[in-house]
């Protein structure tokens, strides 16, 4: 079973609108972390946002927010006021294992976001 599931292979959004990219995860570890990364066509991996499993509030970083619903095991990325430069692949990832001693991040398959003018 996949530990990270991103069900949207591709998404389209109009410039200046908000968009939500879905991510669900599966773990039995009580201590875990969730990440979102952006990969533009240049290929670099850009860190966007992090949420720890014990964090009570949803993480926010500028136009990015992580909608963390622990009971549903979902960690959706919300991008507000989309810009043309937001067109990229987006990856959700989960880090398990601090309680077990290892620290292993697992990635989803990604969602391709295209922002239309």
Partner 1 sequence: DAGITQSPRHKVTETGTPVTLRCHQTENHRYMYWYRQDPGHGLRLIHYSYGVKDTDKGEVSDGYSVSRSKTEDFLLTLESATSSQTSVYFCAISESAGSTEKLFFGSGTQLSVL
Q: How far is CA 34 from CA 7, 81, 90, 92, 117, in A?
A: 17, 23, 13, 7, 31
* Residues listed for the chain: 117
By CB under 8 A, tell whether 30 contacts partner 1: no
The interface region with partner 1, picked from 20-28, 62-70, 72-80, 90-98 by CB under 8 A, is 90-98
Task: Count residues binding partner 1 (CB under 8 A).
Answer: 24
By CB under 8 A, tell whether 75 contacts partner 1: no
The interface region with partner 1, picked from 15-23, 38-46, 62-70, 75-83 by CB under 8 A, is 38-46
Q: How far apart are CA 42 and CA 104, in angstroms?
A: 26
Block residue for tokens 């959706």: 76
CA atoms within 13 A on the CB side of 78: 11
Q: How far apart are CA 114 and CA 12, in angstroms?
A: 5
By CB under 8 A, tell whether 38 contacts partner 1: no
Considering the complex, what minimum distance in angstroms separates the CB of residue 62 from partner 1?
A: 14
Site for partner 1, rule CB under 8 A: 4, 6, 33, 35, 37, 43-45, 47, 50, 52, 55, 91, 93, 95, 102-110
């Amino acid at each position: 079973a996949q530990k990270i599931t991103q069900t949207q292979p591709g998404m389209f959004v109009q410039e200046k609108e908000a968009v939500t990219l879905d991510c669900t995860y599966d773990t039995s570890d009580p201590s875990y972390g969730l990440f979102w990364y952006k990969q533009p066509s240049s290929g670099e991996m850009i860190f966007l946002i992090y949420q720890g499993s014990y964090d009570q509030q949803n993480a926010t970083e500028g136009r990015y927010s992580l909608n963390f619903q622990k009971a549903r095991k979902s960690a959706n990325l919300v991008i507000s006021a989309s810009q043309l430069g937001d067109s990229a692949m987006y990856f959700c990832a989960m880090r398990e294992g601090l309680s077990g001693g290892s620290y292993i991040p697992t990635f989803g398959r990604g969602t391709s976001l295209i922002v239309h003018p």
